[in-house]
Structure 1
């Protein structure tokens, strides 16, 4: 296992629209980010992953790109972006840009040309097909509800869009398209960026013939993921991308990999034969999905600690020495971690610290999503009119208006799972709009901002922020946290998640109570030690306490060095 800067780094994700507004239009922007860089420097992060800031009509909040080499007007100018990069580098912070090349916007110049005629030079940049029996070319369902095909009258054909109809899928079978993308990627690297986070990168290759998905139930459209995820030419495309672009610099690359297994991850992230540094896998994100429900994401199912242990342990052990893990519990597409995996009420602070301890003590590169470091929570807007996310709005319309499901039931799912939970503005202080904007925010601020905000966290030595700061510092000072072998303890315990990390003679023990109960931790007899050093804990702990038998407080987290 080699030493790499991206293994030793902590990454902070910024969702620009909700980070900081500088001009009072209610939308976060690049100059707003510049104004908060000293905050990130104090936190101690090494890398910022910047969610898309490219030109976009904003159908899917910037993930529908109309110009890959310019900046969205609402966010600022290319000169603002260049200043942001320079200011980040001046503080020792690297920048990773979002790469969205499974699809573009339907307002991208390539697609504008593509839809003009069947013999247009750009026609084959996208996936066009004639209808079949008076219907769409196949029965695939979009991630955002409804058919994955959109009819276009001008040429009497359909184009594929696995997401919004304004996000047509690019045709990676076309080498001219691939070369244009590589040229664009090199352009950004030449500007000095430090890597790419790759949106739905394992969906580039579609099965030839685009076969129908298996029919389940009586819905008109059906999940066809087996035909467009980890497709037959994916390795070929990523190998070519690595050869043409990624191998030319010492950069961070992380691919969003829906339905990835550890075998996929080893193939793609092996340091000698792979193409990327790491993947975002989703197995732990799916633990509260109901696989038997037709609306798997939105059906409320309680996650189980034994399942979390099983998933995370498999990824830790299987990738050891063969690939590299990314570590995350929240991002712009997921609910707030403290609301999902902890307790966002009475035990919010303790459970937020526990989750941070869990994540940062595993092997892999940790990702912090903006606001996570102060324990921001899910929002419970009272009306669907308060939501902005296209996935959420489409789902509500389908479930309530088309399927006749009770609106209160649907709203309960939205309160738990909507992507807008992560997209409410960062809560900087207890002033108007939480200090995010002097205007009207593009989406409402969470009502708990007077209590949960950065200003309060900075002055409270026991805040979640200062705890995260210590976690980051410990990781930099202790190679065992980065490189150590992971071994699970108490596999069958339903309340405690405990594991060791071992690197040479250095050994850490993490003890995590994932409940509001007070379970007893009994150290397994095979763990020998002569002494202990408390590295970090989210409660006051007597340093002389014997770790052989501990009664843990609700959501208590402790990490010891064993000597």
Structure 2
């Protein structure tokens, strides 16, 4: 993006439709079931399009709905060209795209092309004939004596290599054993993937969230490396995450497919080096945007923070401030605080006893007006929370159970291991959407595929829809402000000025464009905090009824957040 001065007015070049995107992630298994089989489906998404339109979002990202045996909840695809029957049909998905478009909403699919399911026809043919072309669609290596090719660890635990029966060969699976990695070194395989992408784009799709794309390049070790755990295995990120040479594949993907369409592509990858940001995302990057993962490894419930709000926020502030400042006039991150792979944000950011309207609303305000594309995860807008289990049997995700066993292997007791799982597991975000106070939260009339959080009796969408002072109503206000024609240009293209005033436990940032300035001040603690603010202003958004202000100072109540339009500086600046 380039800013040019024209008669004292800044003209913004290279505008794209997705710069104004306000996203909403749907986890389809848990969104809305219409045929009473206990699994959410595409007709259920269509049923709630008016609710999403009323919320104000304009892009939905749907987690995988392709044909799958569901070992990893759809991230193990057995047929890229078919919708899984549990979700509906190809025709129903096309109808969803059309109905969403009528409401000004664009649809993104999850694109899973680092690996397939072991039930994919390609893999079946590869296993049937290791001399066939399909065997080269996957990463297959000779074992070392009676051992795997090396001691790489799978991200789901255990060896990343699975022996092929009757041979001394192994296939690589960085995820579950049922998710064999594709061999991106094979140009014929890459062409097949490009044709799959084009197939869905012809249906009217607006783009993709691109799953696990940072792992498509592998650099192989022929020897075992020193183990980093009691299992004798080792995690070697530099060999299979953003590995040297990945740009060749990503550049081809962009040039052969993505750049030919006016689409939005958001990569699941963390580009650590700011010098490489424009290479990876932006106007000439491999993708439109990438997610900002600065916060995802941390929880206020972690031992290092021990539910200390101020300590937690002060730790996170420099992480987000640095990236916001460096992104100015360069790239658009995709900003989020929840997704399907994380516990609920309220439990990660807020002490349990302090979760309520004010803490939930200020947490939303904290990230929503930063520079970049904001995304809401289903249920976040009503304040859904974690559902810890009394036994490990309450969870069903393979990753959860593998992590539990790893904790036991590392010396934790069953009680300690379960306590850690309850804090960190991703299934907390996958409980069914809480639509109303009826049976199963209105998600299904059947038996839900995963237990509904019992909080739905007092915390649900219908209840909040009818309450103008609810968290849902506050999210609508935030979205309306971001879309307001008076402020939209500023909030989309304005520079981010993070930490413009300092106050411990308070996140502050400004958005600036020409003579417009908007300030966000978010107190993320349970303390009343006075903040220096040397400007005249109008309040655009406030999660309390009042704001205590006097010359040069604002007093923020516990978990109070405000968005202010600066009208002039007190000292005339």
Q: Into which bin does the TM-score normalised by the smaller protein fall?
A: over 0.9
Displacement of 1:545: 3.3
* Contact 1:113/1:123 (8 A) holds in 2: yes
Aligned length: 548
C-alpha distance in 2 between matches for 1:350 and 1:339: 14
User: Aligned to 1:533, which of 529, 538, 552?
Assistant: 538
Residue 514 of structure 2 corresponds to residue 514 of structure 1? no
| SS of equivalent to 1:111 | helix
Q: Which residue of 2 aligns with 1:187?
A: 199
Q: Which residue of 2 aligns with 1:456?
A: 463
Instruction: Provide closer, same or farther for how the CA distance between residues 266 and 301 of structure 1 changes in structure 2, counting only shifts above 3 A.
Output: farther
C-alpha distance in 2 between matches for 1:337 and 1:547: 35
Displacement of 1:412: 1.4
Give TM-score scaled by structure 1 length: 0.94
* Contact 2:271/2:277 (8 A) holds in 1: no
User: Aligned to 2:507, which of 482, 497, 516?
Assistant: 497
* Contact 1:260/1:282 (8 A) holds in 2: no
C-alpha distance in 1 between matches for 2:223 and 2:478: 48
Displacement of 1:444: 0.5
* Contact 1:203/1:229 (8 A) holds in 2: yes
Q: Which residue of 2 aligns with 1:406?
A: 413
Displacement of 1:346: 4.1
1:300-327, Cα deviation, whole Å (9 max, x unpaired)? 7557222211111111111212221110
Displacement of 1:154: 3.7
Give TM-score scaled by structure 2 length: 0.92
* Contact 2:501/2:532 (8 A) holds in 1: no
* Contact 1:118/1:155 (8 A) holds in 2: no
Alignment of 1:416-435 (within 5 A): 416-435=423-442
Q: Which residue of 2 aligns with 1:555?
A: 559
C-alpha distance in 2 between matches for 1:216 and 1:308: 28
| SS of equivalent to 1:559 | strand
Displacement of 1:267: 1.9
Structure 2 unaligned segments of length 5 or more: list them: 2-13, 568-573
1:429-459, Cα deviation, whole Å (9 max, x unpaired)? 0111000000111110111111110011101
| SS of equivalent to 2:454 | coil
Q: Which residue of 2 aligns with 1:341?
A: 349
Instruction: Provide closer, same or farther for how the CA distance between residues 175 and 547 of structure 1 changes in structure 2, counting only shifts above 3 A.
Output: farther
RMSD: 1.9
C-alpha distance in 2 between matches for 1:381 and 1:68: 34
Q: Which residue of 1 aligns with 2:296?
A: 285
User: Aligned to 2:403, which of 373, 392, 395?
Assistant: 395
Structure 1 unaligned segments of length 5 or more: list them: 291-297
Displacement of 1:341: 1.0
| SS of equivalent to 2:182 | coil
Q: Which residue of 2 aligns with 1:84?
A: 96
Displacement of 1:119: 0.7
| SS of equivalent to 1:221 | coil
| SS of equivalent to 1:534 | strand
Q: Which residue of 1 aligns with 2:45?
A: 33
Alignment of 1:29-428 (within 5 A): 29-209=41-221, 212-258=224-270, 260-271=272-283, 273-288=284-299, 302=306, 304-400=312-408, 402-428=409-435
| SS of equivalent to 2:457 | coil
Displacement of 1:190: 0.7
C-alpha distance in 2 between matches for 1:376 and 1:89: 28
C-alpha distance in 2 between matches for 1:421 and 1:92: 31
* Contact 1:94/1:194 (8 A) holds in 2: yes
| SS of equivalent to 1:99 | strand
C-alpha distance in 2 between matches for 1:366 and 1:211: 44
Residue 522 of structure 2 corresponds to residue 487 of structure 1? no
| SS of equivalent to 1:379 | coil
